[in-house]
């Protein structure tokens, strides 16, 4: 009996070893593939459990994430998850579950799959984590829409809060597990969801706040982990939502409050510009194309909203204008004192100086109402060109030219010059006012300051800017002189001006200006002025044909032809002298 028992135990032990050997061979074949190296027949592991543990890393390393079988398995898992969501929906529609209970269970179901996404991401199973995140989003985002619009369980502000919590959870898991697809799933799900609820409920302000928060979250995620793409659609949605609230608030119906619109405008501007300032000034990074584009967009929406508010209410928010002006001055200071001292910061310097220019123009336009706006802008033009003459900073010259053009537009001096030179004497004649005189004087002073610092031949931008200032000077000065001389020389009853005499006066003034410009152009610092000589001569000739010969009498036409002829003779000779001096070699 004992021998039979011993033989039976021996047979069982031998059978166990044989099974262990077969198991090892099967594992080796699965790990290495059918085309792998052959395994020795007598290779029997002393510990099958240890071999199984050793083979698991090899098996996990050999898994292909693009394997069609694995992809189909993930799709099947996603469909099963969605089936569970529809099962809860069916129970709710059938009345088996009360609507609040069914919606709560559905949200809990989505939260469970978000937890599974975090768990899979922690294990390094990226495809599984992405599928779980997609499942949670496909369940939760449509659920928010139906709970708000169909079942009426959530109000508009409450649904915005639920969207905020849901997006925060998805973004947190995506950031924690470094799932780039998780951020895109959140943005792609959140934007149409908020738009659908916004359109169907008419509640805009809470969703505008939510979209600003989503845009800021994607922006800072891009700063943290260098994922740049998702911040573009989020920022665009925030801009559109804030602009929509502004239009609704200051429309005749007043569907939103002006206070809410101003709060959103401030949050959009401060949020994005503040974030950009932290990255570029504190961290010393270069401004990216997104920051330049979104900074401009946020500025346009905010300042445009302020201007729209002014036109809708008739009020002039001087405090807002002063605040914007101070912000512009701060941008100038940051550009000169901080950014310019760092190496490789040319892009940031141009960004902040351009931002400062726009803010100063907008702030002055908002804070100052009436004709004196042109005088203030002209003063800024003088200050900017003065800085150029002392320091040679090119941005100061460029900004000076912009301020002078803006001053000419705001004061009406450019339009006045166009009227006197082109439109003729139709209607009641008006002489230039005091603000136009200030703009004339400021433009002349700025042109002189700009010419004080010579420019080399390779400084094309500086040369072109000086040329623009010279054009503004000739335009405004010519129009102003004609405006004062014409009514004195040929005024009519009813404060009108004789058209023929006006044509002669304008021809004479332009001819004298052409000679002065040609004479000044002989000097190296005023060489840009000389480029106006031939365009002026051509323009005077065209004016003679279209105005003088049509309206002037023989006596006044004699004067006009004589002055234009003198300009044709003298001005080219002065320009020829300049070319001869330039062609002479240095001694």
pTM for this structure?
A: 0.79
Torsion of CA 328, 332, 334, 340, to 10 degrees: 150
Phi, psi of 316 (to 5 degrees): -110, 100
Burial of 453 (0-12, 13-18, 19+ CB in 10 A): middle
Question: In 319-329, which positions are buried (b, 16+ CB within 10 angstroms) versus exposed (e)?
Answer: ebbebbbebbe
Residue 289 burial by Cβ neighbours in a 10 Å radius (0-12, 13-18, 19+): exposed
- Which residue, 460, 461, 462, is CA-closest to 452? 462
Helical residues (DSSP H) of 346-371, grouped into ranges: 346-367
pLDDT in tens, the chain (587 residues): 455 556 555 655 665 666 566 556 656 655 554 444 444 444 444 444 444 444 444 444 445 556 778 788 888 888 988 999 899 889 988 889 999 999 999 999 999 999 999 999 999 899 999 999 999 999 999 999 999 999 999 999 999 999 999 999 999 999 999 999 999 999 999 999 999 999 999 999 999 999 999 999 999 999 998 888 899 999 999 999 999 999 888 877 778 888 899 899 989 999 999 999 999 999 889 999 999 999 999 999 988 887 777 767 666 567 778 888 999 999 999 999 889 888 778 899 999 999 999 999 999 988 887 778 999 999 999 999 999 999 999 999 999 999 999 999 999 999 998 888 776 666 678 888 899 999 999 999 999 999 999 888 888 999 999 999 999 999 999 999 988 888 887 665 456 677 888 888 899 999 999 999 999 988 888 989 999 999 999 999 998 988 888 888 888 889 999 999 999 999 998 887 655 555 454 43
Closest Cα to residue 194, out of 228, 229, 244? 244
Contact between residue 283 and residue 290 where contact means Cβ atoms under 8 Å apart: no
Closest CA to 110 of 173, 155, 157: 173
């Amino acid at each position: 009996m004992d021998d039979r028992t011993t033989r039976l135990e021996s047979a069982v032990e031998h059978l166990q070893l044989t099974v262990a050997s077969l198991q090892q061979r099967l594992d080796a074949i699965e790990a290495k593939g059918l085309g792998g190296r052959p395994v020795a027949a007598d290779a029997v592991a002393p510990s099958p459990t240890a071999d199984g543990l050793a083979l698991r890393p090899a098996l996990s390393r050999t898994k292909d994430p693009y394997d069609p079988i694995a992809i189909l398995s993930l799709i099947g898992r996603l469909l099963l998850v969605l089936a569970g969501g529809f099962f809860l929906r069916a129970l709710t529609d059938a009345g088996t579950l009360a609507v609040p209970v069914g919606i709560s269970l559905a949200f809990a179901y989505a939260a469970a799959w978000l937890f599974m996404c975090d768990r899979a991401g922690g294990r390094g199973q990226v495809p599984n984590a992405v599928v779980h995140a997609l499942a949670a989003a496909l369940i939760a985002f449509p659920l928010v829409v139906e709970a708000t619009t169909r079942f009426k369980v959530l109000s508009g502000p409450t649904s915005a809060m639920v969207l905020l919590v849901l997006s925060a959870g998805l973004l947190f898991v995506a950031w924690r597990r470094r799932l780039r697809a998780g951020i895109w799933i959140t943005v792609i799900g959140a934007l149409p969801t908020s738009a659908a609820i916004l359109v169907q409920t008419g509640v805009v302000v809470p969703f505008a706040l939510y979209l600003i928060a989503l845009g800021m979250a994607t922006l800072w995620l891009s700063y943290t982990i260098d994922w740049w793409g998702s911040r573009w659609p989020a920022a665009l949605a925030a801009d559109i939502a804030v602009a929509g609230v502004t239009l609704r608030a200051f429309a005749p119906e007043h569907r939103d409050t002006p206070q809410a619109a101003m709060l959103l405008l401030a949050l959009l501007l401060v949020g994005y510009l503040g974030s950009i300032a932290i990255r570029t000034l504190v961290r010393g990074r270069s401004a990216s194309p997104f920051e330049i584009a979104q900074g401009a967009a946020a500025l346009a929406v905010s300042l445009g909203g302020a201007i729209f508010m002014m036109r809708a209410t008739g009020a002039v928010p001087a405090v807002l204008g002063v605040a914007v002006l101070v912000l512009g001055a701060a941008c100038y200071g940051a550009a000169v004192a901080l950014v310019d001292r760092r190496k490789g910061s040319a892009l940031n310097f141009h960004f902040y100086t351009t931002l400062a220019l726009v803010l100063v123009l907008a702030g002055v336009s908002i804070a100052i109402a009436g004709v004196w706006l042109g005088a203030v802008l002209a003063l800024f033009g003088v200050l900017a060109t003065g800085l150029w003459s002392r320091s040679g900073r090119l941005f100061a010259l460029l900004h000076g030219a912009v301020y002078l053009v803006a001053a000419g537009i705001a004061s009406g001096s450019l339009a006045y010059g166009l009227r006197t030179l082109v439109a003729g004497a139709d209607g009641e004649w008006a002489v230039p006012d005091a603000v136009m005189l200030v703009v004339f004087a400021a433009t002349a002073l700025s042109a002189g300051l700009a010419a004080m610092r010579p420019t080399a031949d390779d400084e094309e931008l500086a040369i072109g800017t000086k040329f623009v200032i010279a054009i503004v000077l000739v335009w405004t000065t010519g129009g102003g002189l004609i405006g004062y001389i014409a009514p004195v020389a040929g005024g009519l009853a009813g404060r009108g001006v004789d058209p023929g005499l006006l044509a002669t006066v304008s021809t004479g003034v332009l001819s004298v200006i052409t000679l002065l410009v040609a004479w000044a152009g002989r000097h190296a610092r005023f060489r840009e002025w000389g480029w106006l000589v031939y365009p002026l001569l051509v323009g005077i000739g065209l004016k003679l044909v279209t105005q003088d010969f049509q309206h002037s009498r023989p006596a006044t036409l004699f004067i006009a032809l004589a002055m234009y002829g003198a300009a044709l003779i003298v001005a080219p000779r002065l320009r020829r002298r300049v070319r001869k001096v330039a062609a002479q070699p240095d001694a």
